[in-house]
Every structure is written in structure tokens, then in C-alpha cells.
Structure 1
């Protein structure tokens, strides 16, 4: 079968012919892939990788792709809830199998770091014609989400961020899922940032998005169309961002840029929470010690979140349905570019105006 593969560190991807996957275990499911997303993690894997255990055992290449949707082809004898024809989204992380969190189905909080991730570390991804996966690692989605279901994986990041923000504020005598978050800031204009904006608006939180894109760009239009406010980064003095932005009960930092993350501490209101949902990159920055003193005085919390657990995946499916109902075509407009296997040489390039690119495997 055809698959898009790489060798981490070589900086390129290509189309290869691989053996067909086979249902072997009784809880295995054979899935025909429908659409697979492209993201910055794929580019990172191609360019540098994530350490020494990149390649799957016995393979000299890694199949890319971790944002995917497919249709069940056939199932093992012990599969209980899925049937041929069902639409499914595969999860990404597989636990280490030994630590308390992984054995409790919370591999996103793995203590050992010895987890594996489809298309990222140690396991082939989903950018192929077919995959085999355990039923437990597949999330059913309604057929009407087929076109946008690759966004489910991206949405799990904001879902976990909001869950962590809610947990950090749970001690406050305030109601609601987010325990009194009335105003929130999101940084960035990529799919995760825009989905975070939508997730907050879905919860009727006054939301501001801060990003580099122009006010008349496609990302800014989506932000405004879902009832949020878009602020171009050029309008903000980053040594005193609160003067332009005001204060927020919560911030979801989705750029991964350290020079964006640190100044956001200054815009947090008392008992505020900053969730770092990006990877962490950029130059060394200097920090005024008084900023950390203000964290103590204002009872601020900074949390980092990566990956997601089963609750976040289910929440992502539920919220994606609700977003399409409430925000019309705004969700669909996140997918700006569509490729086929024939486009592998250009599909991973960054192009102006791109928000989310996907491979249409069924084409």
C-alpha cells in the first residue's frame, strides 16, 4: 500500500510502498484512511525528530501523520462497538505500560517518558491507505464530521488546556466548568489557537486572540465570525501588554514561542491561569524578577499541557459537532489546503494563508 514516510532528520518526506497491515489480535480493527492532516509536528519530525527512539522496531522509515479520520473496513472477533463502515478517529499516544498514569489510561501524563506516539515517536503514523489499530484506541465520530474530523486531534489540545485551567481554579468558590473564567486570551493563529478560541466561545467566554496575522487575514476573519476579538501583535507593546489587552482570567498560549509566553503573565488577573499549549521555542528572554513576585501576590498558576486523555478526545468530538452547529462554516474554513499522495513534494511546505492542510486519501 502507499504511505508517506520520512527518516527523522533528513528534512524530507516521500511516497513509499509498504506491506498491507493485517488484523492479528482479536481486538484489532482494519481502517481505510479517509483524510490525514499536516501540522508543524510533522515538519519537526522530518527536520530533527524527537530523540533516539524515532523509528518503529524493524523499520528504517517512519510513516508520518497523526491527525486522521478513517472508515472501518473489518474487525477482529472481540471488537464490540465498531462495525464496518463506521467513521473513526485514531488517538496518538500509547503508554509506557508501567507507570501509574499509563496503566490508568492517562498516557498523556506518563511518568517515565517511555511512551510511543503514532507518526511521531516509535510507531508508524496514519498517512497511508490503511492502518490496523486496537478498538480501544479508536474514537467513533458521526459521518457528518468526515470532512473536518482530522481537526479532532488538534481540538484535543484546547480541550485539555481548558480542563487543566478548570482544575487549577477548582478551589475557588465559583461555578461552571472553568470556575469563573469570564474573559480569556488565546495567542496564535494556527488550528490549535483558532479551535481554542471556538472552544471558549462555545462556553460563552469573552475571548481575545492575539497573533501576528493581519486583521483582514483568514484567521482573523474566523476569530471575528465566532464572536471573539482579534488583536494583531503589532498593536501590542510586549513589555506592557496589559495596556492594550487588559486583564484575563485565563490565557491559552498556543504559539510555543517563549517571547510570547512570558509577557502573558502580566495580563493575568488575580487567580488567573496561563496554560502553555505550545512546544517552547525562540530566543533566550530576560525576565524581570518582579514579574514572578507578582505571580505570588496575585495567586497565579502556570501549567503545561501536552497530548490528551480519553475524556479530551470525547469532548473534542462533542464540541466539534457543537461548533459546526453554532458557528456555521467557520470550522470548515480552518481546512484551507487539500492534497493527494501525488502532492507529497509540496504538501509539507508552509504557504501564505494556510491554516490547516490535509491529505485526501480517498481521492
Structure 2
């Protein structure tokens, strides 16, 4: 079968012929891939990788792709809840199998760091014609989500971020899933940031998105169309952002840029929470010690979140359905570019106006 592969550190991807996967274990499911997304993690894997455990055992290449949707082809004899024709989204992380969180189905909180991730660390990804996966690692999605289901994986990041924000405020005598979050800020204009904006608006939170893209760009239009406010970064003095932006009960930092994350501490209201949902990148920054003093005085919380657990995946499917109902075509407009296997040489390039690119593999 055809698959898009890379060798981490070589900085390129190419089309290869691999052996067909087969159902072996009784809980295995053979899945025909329908759509697979492209994201910055794929580019990182191609350029640098994530360490010596990168390649799957016995392979000298890694199949890319971790944002995917497929259709069940056939199932093992012990599969109970899936049948041929069902639409499914595969989860990404596989736990270490030994620590308390992984054995409790919370591999996103793995203590050992010995987890593996499809298309990222130690396991082939989904950018191929077919995959075999355990039933437990597949999430059923309704057929009407087929076109946008690769976004489920991206949405799990905001889902976990909001869960962490809610947990951090759970001690407050305030109602709601987010325990009194009335105003929130999201940083960034990529798929995760825009889905975070939608997730907050779905919960009727007044939301502001701060990003580099121009006010007349596609990301800004989506933000405005879902009832949030878009603020171009160029209009904000980042040494005193609170003067222009005001205060927020919660911030979801989705750029991964340290020069964006640190100033966001200043915009948090008392008992506010800053969730770092992006990786750490950017130059070394200096921090005014008074900023940390204000964290103490205002009872602020900073949390990092990565990956997601089963609850977050289910919440992502539920919310994606609700977003399409409430926000019309805004969800569909996140997918701006489509490719086929014939486009592998250009599909991983960053291009102006791109939000999410996907490979179309089969109907």
C-alpha cells in the first residue's frame, strides 16, 4: 500500500510502498483511511524528530500523520462496538503500560515518558491507505463529520486545556464547567487556537483572540464569525498588554512562543489560569520579578497541557458536532488546503493563508 514516510532529521517526506496491514489480534480493526491532516508536529518530525525512540521497531522510516479519520473495513472476532462502514478517528498516544496513569487510561499524564505516539514517536502514523488499530484506540464519529473529522485530534488540545482550567478553579464557589470563567483570551491563529476560540464561545465565554495575522485574514474572519473578538498582535504593547486587552479569567496560550506566553501573566484577573497548550520556542526572555510577585498576590495558576485522554476525545467529537450546528461553515473553513498522495512534495510547505491542510485518501 502507499504511505507518506520520513526519516526524522532528513527534512523531507516521500511516497513509499509498504506491506498491507492485517488484522491479527482479536480486537484489531482494519481501517481504510479517508482524510489525514498535516500539522507543525509533522514538520518538526521531518526536520529534527523527538529523540532516539523515533522510528518504529524494525523500520528505517516513519509513516507520518496523527490527525486522521477512516472507515472500518473489517474487524477481529472480539470487536464489539464497531462494524464495517463505521467512521472512526484513531487516538495518538499509547501508554508505557507500567505507570499509574497509563494503566488508568490516562496516558496523556504518563509518569515515565516511555509512551509512544502514532506518527510521532516509535509508531507509524496514519498517512497511508490503511491501518490496523485496536478497537480501544478508535473513537466512533458520525458520518456527517467525515469532512472535518481530522480536526478532532486538534480539538482534543483545547478540550484538555479547558478541563485543566476548570480543575484549577474547582475550589472556587462558582458555577459552571469552568467555575466562573466569564472572559478568556486565546493566543494564536492556527487550528488549535481557532478551535479553542470556538470551544469557549460554545460555552458562552466572552473570548478574545490575539495573533499575528491581519484583521482581514481568514483566521480573523472565522474568529469574528463565531462571536469572538480578534486583536492583531501589532496593535498591542506587549510590555503592558493589560492596558489594551483588559483582564481575563483564563488564557489559552496556543502559539508555543515564550515571548507571547510570559506577557499573558499580566492580563490574568485574580484567581486566573494560564494554560500553556503549545511547545516552548523563541528567544530567551527576561522577566520582571514583580510579575511573579503579582502571581502570588492574585492567586494565579499556570498549567501546561499536552495530548489528551479518552474523555477529551469524546468531548471533541461532541463539541465538533455542536460547533457545526451553532457556527455554520466556520468549522469547515478551517480546512483551507487539500492534497493527494501525488502532492507529497509540496503538501508540507507553509503557505500564506493556510490554516489546516489535509490529504484526501479515499471517499
Mapped partners of 1:280, 1:324: distance in 2: 32
Mapped partners of 1:62, 1:360: distance in 2: 20
How far is 1:196 from its partner? 0.1
Mapped partners of 2:146, 2:48: distance in 1: 32
Which structure 2 residue ranges, 5 or more long, are not aligned?
Answer: none
What's the CA shift string for 1:194-251, capped at 9, x where partnerless? Answer: 0000000000000000000000000000000000000000000000000110000000
Mapped partners of 2:324, 2:244: distance in 1: 31
The residue number in structure 2 matching 1:21 is 21
Matches within 5 A, 1:51-200: 51-200=51-200
Mapped partners of 2:279, 2:81: distance in 1: 35
How far is 1:117 from its partner? 0.0
Q: Indicate whether 1:241 and 2:235 are aligned.
A: no
What's the CA shift string for 1:85-117, capped at 9, x where partnerless? Answer: 000000000000000000000000000000000
How far is 1:284 from its partner? 0.2
Mapped partners of 1:236, 1:94: distance in 2: 41
Mapped partners of 1:46, 1:279: distance in 2: 17
Mapped partners of 1:51, 1:254: distance in 2: 23
Mapped partners of 2:71, 2:362: distance in 1: 10
How far is 1:39 from its partner? 0.1
Mapped partners of 2:283, 2:48: distance in 1: 18
How far is 1:308 from its partner? 0.1
The residue number in structure 2 matching 1:9 is 9
Mapped partners of 2:156, 2:280: distance in 1: 18
How far is 1:290 from its partner? 0.4
Q: Helix, strand or coil: the match of 1:294? A: helix
How far is 1:177 from its partner? 0.0
Which structure 1 residue ranges, 5 or more long, are not aligned?
Answer: none
How far is 1:349 from its partner? 0.1
How far is 1:34 from its partner? 0.1
Mapped partners of 1:312, 1:280: distance in 2: 23
Q: Helix, strand or coil: the match of 1:97? A: coil
What's the CA shift string for 1:128-170, capped at 9, x where partnerless? Answer: 0000000000000000000000000000000000000000000
Mapped partners of 1:9, 1:292: distance in 2: 38
Superposition RMSD on alpha carbons, in Å? 0.4
Mapped partners of 2:331, 2:88: distance in 1: 19
Q: Helix, strand or coil: the match of 2:266? A: helix
Q: Helix, strand or coil: the match of 1:220? A: helix
Mapped partners of 1:342, 1:318: distance in 2: 33
Q: Helix, strand or coil: the match of 2:105? A: coil
The residue number in structure 2 matching 1:211 is 211
Give the structure-2-normalised TM-score. Answer: 1.00
How far is 1:43 from its partner? 0.1
Mapped partners of 2:322, 2:54: distance in 1: 37
Mapped partners of 1:52, 1:288: distance in 2: 38
Mapped partners of 2:224, 2:360: distance in 1: 29
Following TM superposition, the consecutive aligned residue runs of length 4 or more in structure 1 with deviations greater than 4 angstroms are none
How far is 1:340 from its partner? 0.1
What's the CA shift string for 1:164-185, capped at 9, x where partnerless? Answer: 0000000000000000000000
Q: Helix, strand or coil: the match of 2:8? A: coil
How far is 1:27 from its partner? 0.1
What's the CA shift string for 1:273-301, capped at 9, x where partnerless? Answer: 00000011000000000000000000000
Mapped partners of 1:266, 1:362: distance in 2: 48
Mapped partners of 2:216, 2:243: distance in 1: 23
How far is 1:362 from its partner? 1.1
